[in-house]
Structure 1
Amino acid sequence: MLRNFATICALILSALGISSAQANDTPNAKEKLAVKPGDLIVQQDRNGWSAIKILAVDPWPDGTAAAHCLTYKAVPSKPTVESLTRAAVLVWHAPIDAASFSHGWERIGNQAPSKEELIGFVEYLKLTDFPRYISFTGQDSKEIVRKANEHYKLAYTLGDQGKRTEAIAEYSQPIELFPLFYEAIDNRAFIYMELGKIREALRDFEQSLRVNPNGMAAFFSKGECLMKLGDLKAAKDIFQEGQTRFPEQRATFTKFLEQVRALQKNG
């Protein structure tokens, strides 16, 4: 898993126009750089000067760490702490293996990240570590849940009344407040299906399964969406897996699997 994370980090650096290999070959490469929150680090490569601000550092059990970074657009001359206050941001948040900055990077200063600079990191926490997001932002978790439930109940009522567009908008509120609210995600997806917006429904079911991988309704409905979209092979895989993954609903998965096979046979 850690090796995969390092590979992903290298791809992120490459996508940002920053080459870790180039960094190691830089003539003025520095000694191993251990980054910490607020660090402003720079590197010169073929694109000019790259600059990164470290927003946070999450240590791993094996002693390595993930650095949460704000990256700036490359500039022709070496940045300074002062010039970076006016620099254009390339990406507001990217998790990168802290070891990527071991050589070839230079620390030019340290400034605590501002509230604006932390927006990308905060959104990342909201989607990946909600308890930490609550703690980091100083919000009241009970109040967030209360508001989310209010919107959910209203959305459910609107759906029952046939006010589907209004219900979708209302279901979006608890999802925004509490991204782990997979029941709201599922219900919004079902309304999208009723409206014939299958791609939007599929997107929601996939989001729901990221939050709740064992959600039978979302898993089955993902297969149904794929079938409606004509992706029969993917739909077949879903229904086949569902037979054993959700044995209590085996008959339903088998029924739809047979439908997919019939569609494949008929071209």
Structure 2
Amino acid sequence: MNSILQKLKHQFMLFNYRRNYYLAKLFPKKVPIAPLYYLPSGFSVHMVANTGIRIVDNFCTPEEAEYLIKKARDHLARSKVIVGNKAVDDSGRTSSHAVAFHRHYQDSNVLPIIARGAMLAGVPMDHAEQIYVSRYGDGEFYHGHYDFSDSFMSDHRLCTMLIYLNDLEEDQGGVTYFKELNIAIQPKAGRAVIWTNMNPDGSIHPETAHAALPPRGEGIEKWVIQIWFRPYQMHPIHEKLAARQTSTGVPLKGDEELPPGTWIPSNTAAQPSA
């Protein structure tokens, strides 16, 4: 009896496979966006002990960081904080910022960054809030704060991603400081810092209070982009990433920089047969 049931299950499984195969032939789906293709070379995720914080080096490319700084520099305004459901000036936040992406301004150059963040957060791209690029000059800071509150403006922020756009040396300050977790993180161009603000049941993570300490030195700047993801759609994304993973690969010429463990065989004998 058991063998008969096993055979029936196997036949049913094959039927489902064949059905899905022929349906895909008749009604082919568009190739889905694959954020994996948009990961920069050297993209690496590091756990910070048991703090719940993840650091991702090479989250964005030098070109992306330079582009964001250049675009934001001429559009900076005083950064605000959320009180109730209003954005107001506050002496505890002295930085300036500019919008990088929102419902009515969707820059296609920012989409790969959102795609990477959404992949790590495990949510769709359109769950990202309006995105800002922030600038901290000499002595400017943002005092200790949480990225969530009881107001709609900052409630239900599942996770935060801070992406540094330029380097700062240790003696230049500008670290992100988590007092309760006893950790400071040094800005490095392309580095992202990621943490969750709340559990699926809505309870908060009180240890995620953090501060942006001031950079020190004449002419010193810290540039960072903030992305907050929520458990529901925030801004429908109109621009679409091209499904570049469908493009034809280009054979190596010999002058490319290759990652460790890969090379161009010097003769056909070294090449494995197909």
TM-score when scaled to structure 1? 0.25
More strand by percentage: 2
Q: Which has the higher contact order (CA 8 A, sep 6+)?
A: 2
* Greater share of residues in helix: 1
State the TM-score, normalized to the length of structure 2.
0.25
